[in-house]
Chain A
């Protein structure tokens, strides 16, 4: 167990280093982009005078490295700062959006993970059957289409032709919980179609891989049923790779949903980040990038820990 703790500590340190590097890259990247927030916000109506006045008001006349370290110091002290564009507390701004993004991700995960695992186990169980092929074709097709296309098809089917769901997920703080769930079902379904194939195929492959092992042969020779062999004997040993792919998809559900957010007009973090990049609102971009990077680091760590817990042999790589 202490070995696991040691690994976790190591990984945390590495994670912080990663976040630091990410913040540097993002900062430099935005500095390299043409124009700054003063020019972008004033747009076509900018004059040199108003741009200069705006820059001064925002403190953009300070050299870049000082602004960066100011920001870093604030972050380390738990202060995300304020948006340059509208002076709102970033923690408040992001809190709201991140909450929405998580809500959508959790809804999508609640549908897609059990669905993918079930489909995957069944596909392994009935390998090469018609069912196996059908599931593969359907999931692989849905993953092959761009997200917005899947989204439009779903809107066409489920809100235009058969008006079951609303075509936009127009939610706010005041929306009651179940109404929120109802409104995000269509985007969640889109995401499900996009991620399910990956998880399903991995589950199927991992289990099939194990089916050739001696202890499965033993179980078969004992005369156990095929379902029991797979669920009881193969699945626990296949968990490590499955957990990995599930967690990577969870991370995707959080950080990769910008397109879905746009199509369904969903107020999530992705849209916030895109807007902020295009307007060069650096503190907001930095904060959202940190959250996205942090999500990946944490989920990866979680995946490793869970894999090791299910299969302690992984602690000792050969």
Chain B
């Protein structure tokens, strides 16, 4: 299978669906398009300039080690200094980046990646297969602390075929493997004696590290030998950690920075009114969830799970918690941006009568259900839980909101308490999302859910290269999760960010992460 034919056929359907979304604003959201923002002005990237970006993340405990990348700052740093084998474009498809092309065996178990030739690291070393293998190996093995470890468990063997080809054999077929191997953790770094130095900032990326002060700023200068000639327009980029929301918005309005992520949803309408500032939003994979432990009473009863699913007014949550910057969820984690999003699946509505019916059937009348929440789960999680309580009360279900401390939320509450609030950044493919959090026994199966038919379909769909067959299988899986799964998915949250009008974003932005797939330093320019 050539990446160019098989994957692009999958992509075409995606493009048309997305085109539909953008054209009719079917769900009330649009993918921000630069031409619309810029009026009639023609799209022309200008070279040069010093970009200052205010990022809502970053802590003094961060490091350059890709194994621990997890916040918005490390993502931006990652895409500024490094490249990966592939990159996700604005249609949600994965495109070759450091790889020139890839091919899979018919059962999708053996993948060979042809590397782009003549790509240089910032220290002048030329990219070879051994660098790629060492960079991947760093995330594998017993004693790695990498978050990409579970993704790479499926890798059986890796070998270099000459200097410019890497052949990876998998335990079982995986049609989405190019997505997996392009995960942001797996940054390609130069190898020395078969190992990479995780703490140094040398990559092949659009900018070379000048100075990094964790929790304060990153300075990087243009990589003059960058292999993408039409990218990396700035001379210098500066990423500044500005965690305080008011400080970030002030800095943008007073011109201290050129762009920022995470606009405040409560005041974004005021920000929009400011002259010279463009507010943008993209639909991504990010969703807010409320997982229940299906292995623990009372959540082991599907009737209770259904009762709770019916007793939530999602529209109100989107309106009040997201201020309209998002779409309602349907109790499964596959976003409207995903390739195989089940469009035909009926939207679950707020229905106190049905909720009452299932609650009674579960035999739990009169009991109190505890819902743990803290704003660490997502901004507004506590408010969302209180709204949930109000909605459920109309169905005669008594929800007790347990307010948990933000500190230690992920270690003491999530996956420990019976029912809690949570968020997922989402994943670019259905398989990846399901494998991470819904497959039986998965490390982050936060609902401790185990469904035979689902697990069977997961394996079958993963190795299936036929797009139509995969679609049918993924549709069924979404339906199963929605009707039987232990998760309430009230909504998908948009990424909302802003820039001064001196900045020219990409014509069409990627939605896999905030800020144009977090690749703004490479793709944006001064107007």
Contacts and interface: CB of A to CB of B under 8 A. Distances in A.
B150 interface: yes
Given A34-B412, A262-B247, A265-B241, 10 more contacts: A33-B408, A43-B410, A50-B146, A50-B149, A86-B61, A163-B254, A167-B250, A167-B251, A263-B244, A275-B60
B12 interface: no
Interface of B: 59-65, 68, 70, 142-147, 149-150, 199, 211, 213-217, 240-244, 246-247, 250-251, 253-254, 256-257, 407-408, 410-412, 414, 422, 443-444
Contacts of B254: 159-160, 163, 166-167
Contacts of B145: 38, 42, 50-51, 53-54, 57
A47 interface: yes
23 contacts: A33-B407, A35-B408, A35-B412, A39-B411, A42-B145, A47-B444, A53-B144, A56-B143, A57-B143, A83-B61, A86-B61, A86-B65, A87-B199, A88-B214, A159-B250, A159-B254, A160-B253, A163-B254, A172-B211, A263-B246, A265-B244, A265-B247, A284-B60
A44 B407 contact: no
A279 B68 CA distance: 13
A168 interface: yes
A86 B250 contact: no
A261 to B, nearest CB: 10
B251 A265 contact: yes
A183 B251 CA distance: 13
A311 interface: no
B247 A168 contact: yes
Nearest to A160: B254
Contact of B410 (A44, A87, A96, A168): A44
Contact of A34 (B146, B240, B408): B408
A271 B217 CA distance: 13
Nearest to B257: A168
A78 to B, nearest CB: 22
Contacts, number: 138
Contacts of A159: 250, 254
In the A-B complex, list the 3 residue pairs whose CB atoms are closest, starting with the nearest.
Answer: A85-B61, A86-B63, A34-B408
Nearest to B446: A44
Contacts of A263: 244, 246-247
A227 B256 CA distance: 47
A86 B214 contact: yes
A45 B415 CA distance: 12
Interface in A145-168: 152, 155, 159-160, 163, 166-168
Nearest to B212: A86
Contacts of A33: 407-408
B247 A167 contact: yes
A275 B61 contact: yes
A299 interface: no
Given A46-B411, A263-B247, A53 B62 contact: no
Contacts of A264: 247
Given A170-B256, A262-B244, A265-B247, A39 B199 contact: no
B403 to A, nearest CB: 15
A39 B251 CA distance: 33
Contacts of A40: 408, 411
Question: Would you call the interface of chain A mostly helix, strand, loop, or mixed?
Answer: helix
Contacts of A179: none
Nearest to B62: A86
Interface in A73-101: 83, 85-88, 93, 96
A74 B417 CA distance: 40
Contacts of A276: 60-61
B410 A46 contact: yes
B149 A49 contact: yes
A168 B70 contact: no
Nearest to B149: A50
Nearest to B436: A45
A33 B62 CA distance: 20
A269 to B, nearest CB: 10
A272 B215 contact: yes
Contacts of B256: 166-168, 170
A47 B443 contact: yes
A267 B214 CA distance: 10
Contacts of A170: 217, 240, 256
A93 B60 contact: yes
A210 interface: no
Which one of A39, A57, A86, A160 has the greatest number of beta carbons of chain B within 10 Å?
A86
B185 to A, nearest CB: 9
B251 to A, nearest CB: 5
Nearest to B214: A86
A102 interface: no
A163 B307 CA distance: 56
A272 B256 CA distance: 23
A276 to B, nearest CB: 6
Interface in A231-276: 262-265, 267, 271-272, 275-276
A44 B412 CA distance: 11
Nearest to B249: A167
A286 B327 CA distance: 45
Contacts of A38: 145
Give the residue among B254, B412, B422 with the most A Cβ atoms within 10 A: B254
Contact of B215 (A41, A54, A271): A271
Interface in A263-298: 263-265, 267, 271-272, 275-276, 278-279, 281, 284
B394 to A, nearest CB: 32
A43 B70 CA distance: 8
B250 A85 contact: no
Contacts of B59: 275, 278-279
Contacts of B410: 35, 39, 43-44, 46
Contacts of B412: 34-35
A167 B260 CA distance: 15
Contacts of B444: 44-45, 47
A172 B213 contact: yes
A271 B60 contact: yes
Interface string A54-69: 1011000000000000
A265 B250 CA distance: 11
Nearest to B406: A278
A194 B443 CA distance: 50
Contact of A85 (B62, B211, B257, B414): B62
A19 B413 CA distance: 35
A34 B146 CA distance: 22
Contact of A87 (B63, B144, B217): B63
B143 A53 contact: yes
A288 to B, nearest CB: 10
Contacts of B143: 53, 56-57
Given A159-B250, A267-B216, A168 B146 contact: no
